[in-house]
Amino acid sequence: EADIYQTPRYLVIGTGKKITLECSQTMGHDKMYWYQQDPGMELHLIHYSYGVNSTEKGDLSSESTVSRIRTEHFPLTLESARPSHTSQYLCASSDPGTANTGELFFGEGSRLTVL
């Protein structure tokens, strides 16, 4: 069973607020990802990281930013939230390079609503 945790699970905030979505994994995975998913729609990759101090933009442009200071931690930040940011944000990690199967494990998601 995967050990990847996201907080908060649900967040309702007003426009203009700064928010940080937390993601932590205890599996020692090097690679971590953030996906965005609107209700009933596809997942889109917005950020990923190969390891500490590595961050890359994903396929879908996003105003959010990420950091990877520790292997186990990959937070996502929105400096000024807007209603268009309302969505579900899913964090994932993949298994160590030595195993190299590339299997992806997901957290439970953070559902963000910006009023």
Partner 1 sequence: KQEVTQIPAALSVPEGENLVLNCSFTDSAIYNLQWFRQDPGKGLTSLLLIQSSQREQTSGRLNASLDKSSGRSTLYIAASQPGDSATYLCAVRGMDSSYKLIFGSGTRLLVRP
Q: Are strands 31-37 and 104-106 parallel, antiparallel or unpaired?
A: unpaired
Q: Is 107 in the site for partner 1 (CB under 8 A)?
A: yes
User: With binding defined as CB under 8 A, does residue 23 bind partner 1?
Assistant: no
Q: Which of 28, 38, 56, 77 binds partner 1 (CB under 8 A)?
A: 56
Binding region for partner 1 (CB under 8 A) out of 12-20, 55-63, 68-76, 78-86: 55-63
E strand residue ranges, 2-115: 4-7, 10-13, 19-25, 31-37, 43-49, 56-57, 65-66, 76-78, 87-94, 104-106, 110-114
By the criterion CB under 8 A, which residues form the site for partner 1? 2, 6, 31, 33, 41-43, 45, 48, 56, 58-59, 88, 90, 92, 94, 101-109, 111
